[in-house]
Structure 1
């Protein structure tokens, strides 16, 4: 167990609150509990390709790629097969993109999408070495880099759209919620906050954002039920703006983004800023979620449930990743 603890980290072990790492050591208990059941992961991700050959093309080494369709309109694509799991190798890449979004004087709109069939963006990676996570500095807001980037995306003077085709689970749902607008595939989109099903508290801000979108009751249904939500129900509840037939989704989003890209940047930025004042959660609300998450991952109940999921094939088995809401409901009762 000590060997596993030194060489691996779960998402829990790297999460810190307000940029502080005072809870990170305590969270290592979570690592020790689950690593005994954690299978080795194949060296197949784009991040591993970077370390193996830094001279490879951007298309093969980037988990987060940017296509500048015009100076005013960018596409940001998640490309980390097989499941678009988000981990410490992804964080610096996304941070570069968020910083570029904030600073580019010509950019007006950015669309987030996926190159991995069946997965928009999923949960945090439970496998990488500890140093890959704990070595990351806090972001400008003082939050851990992941919630920091989500907060900054929401406040950027640029319109952000999540084009959701496939699963948006955990981090994927939280990035979608941090985006200004969400459009989903009616047939292929699945959104979820799965954490409570594994005895965890979600940490990326959904408790602060979901009630503002859909009201308290529906937000609690999503968070406490920890179930998979399809495109039509997501639209009905306000989880997404619209659910469209899959064969119409790309054309609709591209036309909408192109339309906004033609408008005045100052008018876009000022309008968004005023909507932000009325609708965005404060940093303390986001930080409180991270505090609750760090507390939850140290509980034996969470440790046991994540261990069960890893034994079933979390991160290695497409069946588990594709039906995470179902499998969390099959875990042993407390």
Structure 2
């Protein structure tokens, strides 16, 4: 499939999805979201893909500036703007965010500039998030627009940095630059702007060499842990270990350990 607002490339088992709508700082227009969703559908069923890198065009520019506010206008003959946005979220935006988080392989977010609003939500949906030194995360929903953070931000922010910091970040709407994002536990690593893409691809290759089920298993386990008691989580771990230890992956891992080599999954 050909795309106009994104680029999708696949090389050596690594897919790279690049948002490319620079005039709007990669704002989440409906056409861009449709292309992202189509690309995620395309790669989700490709068994040759072992990891995904998602990023924006250009070094130090923009990962994604969030909702395309310039395209929003009420329809005098139809439902209210709020109703239109709700319908769009249910039909496209939310399924896109869920699809990204449910891919059967690890996702590396390479945040190369502003990740604002829904753009920050998309970035933080990655399993491993890296940012350039000049990149920043911004949640302007409440202080600038009087609306809630969305595309999963209210779910993921308190899980990453705790409720107190999530409240402050959302209420104050201050920029959190790469190094601060690492220090606060929002993301994994901050690197020089010029090194971001190579570091992201290198990280994706490391992840691709791991067990095929690693990312889905860990997502499920950590998500369950948020609401489970310790006893419930211990029981879940034992159940999953029963199946995973009987798998060829574990057997290869043991052989590699005994033979003092890297496993080949």
The verdict on a shared fold, with TM-score over 0.5 as the criterion, is yes
The corresponding residue for 1:326 is none
Out of 208, 211, 233, the position equivalent to 1:264 is 211
- Structure 2 partner of 1:3: none
How many angstroms does 1:226 deviate by? 0.5
State whether residues 67 and 117 of structure 2, in contact with CA within 8 Å, keep that contact through their aligned partners in structure 1: yes
Establish whether residue 113 from structure 1 lines up as the match of residue 55 from structure 2: yes
CA drift at 1:203: 2.2
For residues 1-334 of structure 1, the aligned pairs below 5 Å read 58=2, 62-70=4-12, 72-82=13-23, 83-117=25-59, 118-128=61-71, 143-186=90-133, 188-198=134-144, 199-278=146-225
After TM superposition, the score normalised by the length of structure 1 is 0.59
Instruction: Give unpaired runs (5+ residues) of structure 1.
Output: 1-56, 281-334
TM-score, L = length of structure 2? 0.73
- Higher RCO structure (Cα 8 Å, ≥6 apart): 1
Contact 1:195/1:201 (CA < 8 Å) preserved in 2?
yes
CA contact (8 A) 1:101 1:158 kept: no
Distance in 2 (CA, whole Å) between partners of 1:145 and 1:67 is 23
Contact 2:16 2:52 in 1 (8 A): yes
Q: Write the distance in 2 (CA, Å) between the matches of 1:65 and 1:218.
A: 35
State the shift of 1:250 in Å. Answer: 2.4
Report if aligned partners of 2:108, 2:203 keep a CA contact under 8 Å in 1.
no
Per the TM alignment, residue 111 of structure 1 is displaced from its structure 2 partner at its CA by: 0.6
1:187-224: CA deviation from partner (whole Å, max 9, x where unpaired): x1011001112222222221111010011111111111
Change (3 A) 1:165 1:129: closer
Separation in 1, partners of 2:91, 2:129: 24
CA contact (8 A) 2:10 2:16 kept: yes
Name the SS for the 1:163 alignment partner: strand
Aligned residue pairs: how many? Answer: 217
Which residue does 1:323 correspond to in 2?
A: none
8 Å CA contact 1:214–1:239 kept in 2: the answer is: yes
Q: 1:95 to 1:226 in 2, by over 3 A?
A: same
CA separation in 2, counterparts of 1:260 and 1:144? 31
Contact 2:111 2:129 (C-alpha < 8 Å) held by counterparts: yes
**Deviation, structure 1 residue 279:** 5.3
Which residue of structure 2 lines up, in the alignment, with residue 50 of structure 1? Answer: none
Runs of 4+ in 1 over 6 A off after TM superposition: 133-139
